[in-house]
């Protein structure tokens, strides 16, 4: 969050700036998970057998390691998208994300929180929509992975 605030304050305001900032913040974690998944797969006997059979480096890397990492990376992607939504919503709520007049759910929560006791739905509905989007994305990824595993 501190990195987001720092980078967002020195960069121009808007969604086109926020996307690279969130990507930059998430990059070290994605690289770490990808490396850990690849190292686990690299120790498998099937990979050694492919090397001994003379399979090309491309076929081993993309055909075997990449396909074996797909489930792990897709599950991580669902979690990362939820985290990215959280970061973008937090940035908008703090006023460093998108402009205050944008049609953004986090901006709606921020602009309407003063009237929370008069009209709570103006705050609750956008917050629930953010939660529904996060849960829906994760369920969609889970369904796609389950469907791919059992055609």
Q: How confident is the model over 75-102, as pLDDT tens digits?
A: 888 788 878 877 877 777 676 766 667 6
How many folded domains does the chain comprise?
1
pLDDT at 34: 92
Separation between Cα atoms, residue 68 and residue 13, nearest integer Å: 39
Task: Judge whether 42 and 109 are in contact, CB under 8 Å.
Answer: no
Expressed as residue numbers, the domain containing 105 is: 2-149
Q: How confident is the model over 11-55, as pLDDT tens digits?
A: 777 677 778 888 888 899 999 999 999 998 988 898 889 989 998
Task: Judge whether 57 and 124 are in contact, CB under 8 Å.
Answer: no
Question: Does the model's pTM come out above 0.85?
Answer: no
């Amino acid at each position: 969050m501190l990195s987001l605030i720092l980078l967002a304050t020195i960069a121009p305001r808007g969604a086109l700036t926020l996307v690279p900032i969130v990507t930059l913040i998430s990059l070290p974690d994605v690289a770490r998970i990808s490396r850990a998944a690849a190292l686990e797969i690299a120790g498998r006997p099937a990979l050694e057998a492919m090397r001994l059979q003379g399979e090309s480096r491309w076929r081993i890397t993309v055909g075997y390691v990449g396909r074996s990492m797909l489930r792990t990376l897709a599950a991580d992607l669902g979690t990362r998208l939820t985290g990215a939504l959280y970061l973008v919503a937090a940035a908008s709520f703090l006023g460093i994300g998108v402009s205050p007049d944008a049609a953004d759910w986090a901006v709606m929560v921020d602009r309407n929180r003063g009237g929370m006791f008069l009209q709570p739905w103006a705050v609750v509905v956008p917050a629930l929509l953010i939660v529904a989007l996060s849960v829906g994305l994760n369920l969609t990824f889970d369904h796609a992975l389950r469907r791919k595993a059992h055609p």
